[in-house]
Structure 1
Amino acid sequence: MFVKMDQKTTATLLELAAKSLLSSEPAVIHALEEIPRDLFIPLFSTAFLGGHKKILKAMVRVWPFHCLHLGSLKAQESYYDILESMIDGLPIPPPQNSSSRGHKLRILDLRHNSNCKTTCSQVRITFPFCLQSCRSSQHAVLNLENTQHHVRCLAIGNSGSEVESAQETMELLVDISLNNTLRTQQFLTFLSNKVEQSSGFLHLCCRDLQINRMSANKSILQILNLGCIGHLEMDQAYLGEIITVFAGMIHLHSLSLSNIPFRSYRGRNLKSFLVWLGQLENLQELRLSFFYLKDQLDKLLSVLPPHMDTLCLSFCGISMRDVTFLSQSSQATQLRVLNLNNNHIFSEAYEPFQVLLEKISGTVQHLEINNCMMTDSILLAIIPTLNQCINLRVFNFAFNPITMPVLKSLLQHLASLPRLKHVIYPVPIHCYHEQNFHHSLNRQKLAEVQAQVKAMLHMLHKDHVKWATYYD
């Protein structure tokens, strides 16, 4: 009698086989030339989660697919040790006499990406295909192979040496965080040495670069192709240092800057910064924190692309004049995410914000006005406009001096929003002793508020919508 096995059953059997193999590292390494291709993926996952560095190094050397991605895998410990083992397994330059399987690995992706499988489907058009391959650098595998294919089609000259170069080139995809820890510095030194030793065979592709204290990490930039970077996050850097990094980042789509010293704005620095910022045509997300912009937001908005969909300006000293300019900007009707946290924008008037809210009402999905000095009267005035934000999913207005009756009124009105999933609301002022806002919280009163909110949500059949405070 034959038993029909579904894909899930087959996967489970492969995982069991992989675990059985790992009981003897030398035997696994010796058998890599012979084991079925289908066993490589579950074996890799099991070896990675178990921290089998020698096996991982050997597997990279004979990987039978075009690409290898960490995907959703996370190491339990010795993360950098594991990454170094895998990088060390790259056969660079490739051996003249490759293994019986042939030398197939071209892209090693060491980024954590929950939506990425261990290897891409074996789709072929003219040459091996990978969804995560670099498209930004002329040294990337995909671009080199495109060039060689074009040369072949035109039959121009003898392209033998060029084809060989394209076939040998490999990509290493890695997110880099320069955080000044000793282990990070050791990893970056290892990475730099590997790239230099490859003599051009290895293309290092960094899509996400995080820099803490720019002055201590300038050397690593020399081995990076800045055109590959899509997201840049910098903390505690001078504007002049940021400008030097901008120069090669032509494909940047997300920029986060925080804790920029105010004294670095002097002279021509701010003007130069705005010039460079204006050259980032692909920019979609801008996040600034502790970046003083009072009465200067119009200058920033004038150089930003009109198609931007994310703008976060926390602790930026934003005034009502700035809010007015934002409401009149070309970006206003495109914004999906707007964060104005920790700016006292309601200390003067609320009308400019109400106009802004009307402009973004058709697109905004995530709105934060946490700690903006919003009072009962202001909230009551903007509730009708808030109710027009039909795509709103997340609303954060914590740490504003609101009373319980107004909070209840807001809850009843927002219940009609079809996509609202999460609200972070302020603790009503009666929960603080002697109306001392932000201090001396009465936990019993807060518990009563939370119970009332929960009961109202149940009565309105909105139990799936999470209303919470920062104290939950």
Structure 2
Amino acid sequence: MDFKEPSTLFDIAIQCLLHHEPLAIQALQEIPGELFVPLFTAALKGRHEKILSAMVKSWPFFCLHVGPLSMQEAQPTLWKVMVESLFPAENPAFRSPKLRILDLTQHPGCKTKCPVITTTCKPCVRCCAYSERSLMKVESQCSSSSSESEGQSPKTTMELLVSLSFDRSFRENEFFALLLSKVEQSLGSLHLCCRDLRIKNLSECRSALSHLDLKCVSHLAVVEASLISVLSLLEQAVNLDSLSLSKITCRSFNGRTFRNFLSQLRCMDHLKELSLSSFCLTNHLEHVLRVLSADLDFLQLPFCELSHNDFKFLSQCPQASHLKLLDISNNSICWEDCEPFYCLLENLSGSLQHLAINHCLLTDATLSILAPALSHCSHLRLFSFSSNPITMPMLRRILEYLTPMAQLKYVIYPIPMHCYERWHVRCTLDAQKVADVNAQLKILLQEAERDDMCWITYTG
């Protein structure tokens, strides 16, 4: 029988307050600032829209980071309520608001409000640092102009941090329309700062993109577009931490478009994550990697048709010398000479945390060569090698190599070939044989005293 920890008097008081909305809204004028965060968190969880609106209008701190708190299914409605509450008309029922940054992004580890900083550092860790319309730059300009003309106080400026996704249903995106309306109503006092931008229909969202300052974007993902159209974005989004391009067409690797693409990559000093998916790079990976910073942490290259020469360069280049994540799934690795891949794993043994080599046509012979290098990756936390044609004896052997790796917790393994009548044809899969494999692995993990290690596979 499960016993829940009893609620504290403080929790009970907050819930009582939330169930009396008029009283809660009135109390915002009187309660101390330190109670705002727990009350806001509870109001968000309970979806008390009127209280949330009143709290945004009365927020007694410089910033409000909402994203990590909100539930996915409730986000559109609650975010709309909070955005509509920005720039409230003066009302004696509310204390004078101090809110200057409303952050609706899903930035991990970000607290609801930043701690008070009394130094000359920026007052919020998520302040926009690049746009000319950013709060810091506008206020700096206002301070300079107000010092020249005394008696004029600079107008209040605010920053709204968002993540946006433009897909085929973009035209019906009421939230984006609300954002633009709020920016227009602010008469230049609200800076719309898009940090995470995902585009699936680039040709139909050009007009929408014209309302954004792409210097603000730190994570950009584009699906299904021509490389020449992507270049127009990269010329503006010059401060990227993460770039993901999927199903991008390029007519020639010898043409001006690809050379310009490489030039844009060379200028990305902050880039930590690069994902190129379904982007044919056969014998051209070297050109891409050479222009990147040596600070790259994540590299994802699925469906890129990488060659033996590409792997050879990958194993030697400094840009891939300390990767934390490497995904080379859906590239055929069926050469007799596996030394480049072996060297790559050895070189990454001190940093690699996540490795995905799914559907690479890896055989028993190849994996037997790679297994020792794999076992040296002492920081590995997740290893995925599903959909490769291996036997049950090799799967058991891999398990023996992996169980001593203390930090490795998750393994996604391939279903052995004997479970299929015809390998990897789903309709020929024998469910009982798969269950027997799962049972054998469970016993082996128990014998190795690795109950903390999770081995899973995909049958669908």
- TM-score, normalization: structure 2? 0.90
Counterpart position of 2:135: 141
Equivalent-residue separation in structure 1 for 2:292 and 2:108 (angstroms): 31
Q: CA deviation at 1:119?
A: 2.1
Counterpart position of 2:52: 56
Aligned positions of 1:41-80 closer than 5 A: 41-75=37-71, 77=73, 79-80=75-76
Identity of aligned residues (%): 42
In the alignment, residue 181 of structure 1 is paired with which amino acid? S
Equivalent-residue separation in structure 2 for 1:453 and 1:266 (angstroms): 50
Q: 1:357 to 1:244 in 2, by over 3 A?
A: same
SS in 2 for 1:72: helix
Counterpart position of 1:315: 303
Equivalent-residue separation in structure 1 for 2:56 and 2:415 (angstroms): 54
Equivalent-residue separation in structure 2 for 1:183 and 1:111 (angstroms): 21
In the alignment, residue 280 of structure 1 is paired with which amino acid? M
Q: CA deviation at 1:170?
A: 0.8
Equivalent-residue separation in structure 2 for 1:201 and 1:147 (angstroms): 13
Greater Cα shift, 190-199 or 135-144: 135-144
Q: 1:265 to 1:241 in 2, by over 3 A?
A: farther
**Which among 106, 127, 132 is matched to residue 100 of structure 2?**
106
Q: Would you say 1:297 and 2:259 are equivalent positions?
A: no
SS in 1 for 2:389: coil
Q: Would you say 1:342 and 2:330 are equivalent positions?
A: yes
Q: Would you say 1:364 and 2:352 are equivalent positions?
A: yes
8 Å CA contact 1:399–1:438 kept in 2: the answer is: no
Counterpart position of 1:177: 165
Cα offsets for 1:221-279 (capped at 9, x unmatched):
22222122111111112212211111122220111111223558794322222221221
8 Å CA contact 1:177–1:209 kept in 2: the answer is: yes
Q: Would you say 1:217 and 2:205 are equivalent positions?
A: yes
Counterpart position of 1:88: 84
Greater Cα shift, 439-448 or 50-59: 50-59
Counterpart position of 2:428: 440
Cα offsets for 1:186-222 (capped at 9, x unmatched):
2111111211221221111111111111112122222
SS in 1 for 2:406: coil
Equivalent-residue separation in structure 1 for 2:320 and 2:109 (angstroms): 31
SS in 1 for 2:315: helix
Greater Cα shift, 213-222 or 126-135: 126-135
SS in 1 for 2:411: strand
Greater Cα shift, 194-203 or 355-364: 355-364
SS in 2 for 1:357: helix
Q: CA deviation at 1:434?
A: 5.0
Q: Would you say 1:457 and 2:445 are equivalent positions?
A: yes
Cα offsets for 1:284-329 (capped at 9, x unmatched):
1101111111111111112111221211000111111111111121
Q: CA deviation at 1:15?
A: 3.6
Gapped runs of 5+ residues in structure 1?
A: 1-7
Equivalent-residue separation in structure 2 for 1:429 and 1:127 (angstroms): 59
Aligned positions of 1:353-392 closer than 5 A: 353-392=341-380
Equivalent-residue separation in structure 2 for 1:127 and 1:407 (angstroms): 54
Counterpart position of 1:5: none
Q: 1:469 to 1:60 in 2, by over 3 A?
A: same
Aligned positions of 1:120-131 closer than 5 A: 120-125=114-119, 129-131=123-125
8 Å CA contact 2:241–2:273 kept in 1: the answer is: yes
SS in 2 for 1:206: strand
In the alignment, residue 243 of structure 1 is paired with which amino acid? L
Counterpart position of 2:339: 351
SS in 2 for 1:257: strand
Greater Cα shift, 403-412 or 344-353: 344-353
Equivalent-residue separation in structure 2 for 1:275 and 1:444 (angstroms): 54
Cα offsets for 1:366-423 (capped at 9, x unmatched):
1111111111111111222222222222111111111111111121122222322211
Equivalent-residue separation in structure 1 for 2:134 and 2:42 (angstroms): 30
Equivalent-residue separation in structure 2 for 1:98 and 1:421 (angstroms): 56
Aligned positions of 1:189-228 closer than 5 A: 189-228=177-216
Equivalent-residue separation in structure 1 for 2:40 and 2:353 (angstroms): 39
Q: CA deviation at 1:75?
A: 4.1
In the alignment, residue 154 of structure 2 is paired with which amino acid? E
